[in-house]
Every structure is written in C-alpha cells, then in structure tokens.
Homo-oligomer: A and B are copies of this chain.
C-alpha cells in the first residue's frame, strides 16, 4: 500500500506539478509523482506528510492536503498488488526541492506538458494527475483554497492569477475583485500596500477564516484570451 502525491503550485503564472525521476525499477528514469510505501503504524496522512518532507523537502504543514482517490487496479503495478491512495497538495511557490532517496531528480513541471502524450508518466500516474487537476479546479469554485497557493501577504491580483493559472483562462479583474472582497472571511486586509514595478499599488491581504465559498465562483463565465 502506497501514497502518491499530486503537489500543485503556481510558478511564473503557470500551474505546475512536482514530478520526480524514478531512481528504481520499475519505470527506472521515467517521470512520476512522488510517493512511497505506508509504514507500520502510520496513518495515511502521516505517510503523505513524511513523503512530502523526505522526497521533496517541503513542510506539509504549510500546504493544503486532502485525500483524492484510491487506485486499486490489480495490474497497475508490475511488481504485484499495490493499492495507492492519492493525495492532493496545494501550496505557494516553494524553493526547488532536493532529490530524495528514491528519486534522482525533482522538478516543477507545467501541467500542460506533464499531461501531453509524450511525457508518459510511470504507472497510472497520468490518470491520477488528471483527477487531481480536476479536483483542484473544482475546489477553486466552492472553497477558498486558492489562497493556499499564495504566499502571505498577497493581493487580489495575485489571487486572480492563481485562478487563471489553474483554470486556464482569464477572468474579469473587476468582477473577480467584487466577488472575493464581498465574500466574508475570504480576505483579511493587512492595511499595507505593495508597490510593483508597474501599475497602481495594490492592497495586501491575509487568508481569512472562511473555507467555503457561498455562493460558489463558477467556471462558466470564462473570458476570451
């Protein structure tokens, strides 16, 4: 029994997933999601946090972490029967992780290229990644987890860039601002401002206590380009 991690972040305005290069058989040298076997006496959450730290050097306590799905096809692993529990982790842009014991390299791969046919991830990791991506996109509609992608403090524009990167299309800045600022408990003003190289300074916010977005912010209203 294993845990596999779909770790997503937004870096340079692109949604990226953390992939490692496998250092063991099977699928030696192929890109894969980080993960590993559940140890004796561990809960799955503990396994996920441990793998996060071991294989990537990330501190899972700063990330949003949730169970995604269980994959149990008897033929999914050539070594034999291995059931894997996939976790979805969302976090702000983080320092480039170091290669761990089982992995020879780790990198933040843009989602678009990670899911192209040429990439051919190990095991059924392409399917797991697709499910994780869809879950993340859906979560942005109904919850405030998008803020988990932003290092604090952040601006409304930062938050909008998260939505645009995850959903893959532009949002109207004005309507987006109206929506998130009127949702009680989503954003907490710090009173400070950020002065970018170009454009008007933006108010800074911290994550508020709200976790649900009611009414939801639906993907339906997409804008061209």
* A residues in contact (CB < 8 Å) with B: 1, 38, 40-45, 67, 69-70, 72-74, 81, 83, 85, 142, 214-216, 218, 220
Contacts and interface: CB of A to CB of B under 8 A. Distances in A.
Contact of A83 (B1, B40, B74): B1
11 contacts: A38-B72, A40-B81, A41-B74, A41-B81, A42-B74, A44-B72, A45-B72, A67-B69, A67-B70, A70-B85, A215-B218
A190 B69 CA distance: 37
A198 to B, nearest CB: 37
Contacts of A83: 1, 44
Contacts of A142: 142
A41 to B, nearest CB: 5
A26 to B, nearest CB: 19
Contacts of A215: 215-216, 218
Contacts of A216: 215-216
